[in-house]
Amino acid sequence: MEAPMRRLAAAFCALNVAILSPCALHPQRRSERPQFRAEILRGEKGPTYTLTNLSGKPVEALVFEISSSSQPARKAKKVWDSILEGNRPLEPGAGLSRPVFELAFSPLPDRIKVIAAVWTDGATFGDPASVNLVLNNRALRASEYEDAAGILQRGLSQNWTREQYEQAFRDKPDSGAVYTVRTALSATLQTAKTPEEFNKIMQILLTNFQRLSKQLRKVKPI
């Protein structure tokens, strides 16, 4: 009976170890390779923040959180979006650097980490609230481009004059799309001497707005 009793005692001992040490039942996973590196670096012209894409595919947008060690409880989320800024996505291994003062955060931040991302294939990383900082902003901007594109389409189909376009956009709320159209209309006084040249510029604006809207709606809010 001694051997069976020893085996039974050993079993109880192993069970106690498992209960007291959950890791015995659920071994910890090996930590995953980080997908982004975020740093705040000192420079001759002041500190800069650098965000580097360590993943294996291009990334279109990043959400990062900043704070200061002097006030660690105070944090802010910032967004970098290549589409809205008119830049190329960050390729694997590539990074972007900006002056810290652009973050408009006081006290000066010395801590930074990436908390969300949107890749060019539509995949996302991060909690839904953080990812939606990118996606909801994109949806708003897409609506602005679509509204402007609708006016441009109507103007082209009805062969509007410059004055008619100016009237159509005069009372529109300020947005990137509206500002672009107003600037282009002003420039055509010098650059478009004929109706054909003028219509060509309006068509270019329409095509660009439709393309941007399609890009911005590629990923839906979570």
Domains of the chain: 36-126 (2.60.40), 135-216 (no CATH)
pLDDT value, residue 33: 57
Q: Which pLDDT band, with edges at 50, 70 and 90, does 122 fall under?
A: confident
pLDDT one-digit tens code per residue, 19-76: 233 333 233 333 355 699 999 998 888 899 999 999 999 999 999 999 999 998 999 9
List 112's β-bridge partners, or say none: 66
Q: Would you state the structure tokens that stand for residue 144, as one six-digit string?
A: 């602005």
Structure tokens, 204: 């270019």
For residue 26, the model assigns a pLDDT of: 31
Beta bridge partners of 203: none
pLDDT of residue 222: 66
| Encoded tokens for 162 | 């410059």
| Model confidence pLDDT, tens digit, residues 86-116 | 899 999 999 999 999 999 999 999 999 999 9
**The two three-digit tokens of residue 23, written as one number:** 């890791």
Quick one: pLDDT band at residue 185, thresholds 50, 70, 90?
Answer: very high
Indicate the pTM of the whole model: 0.71
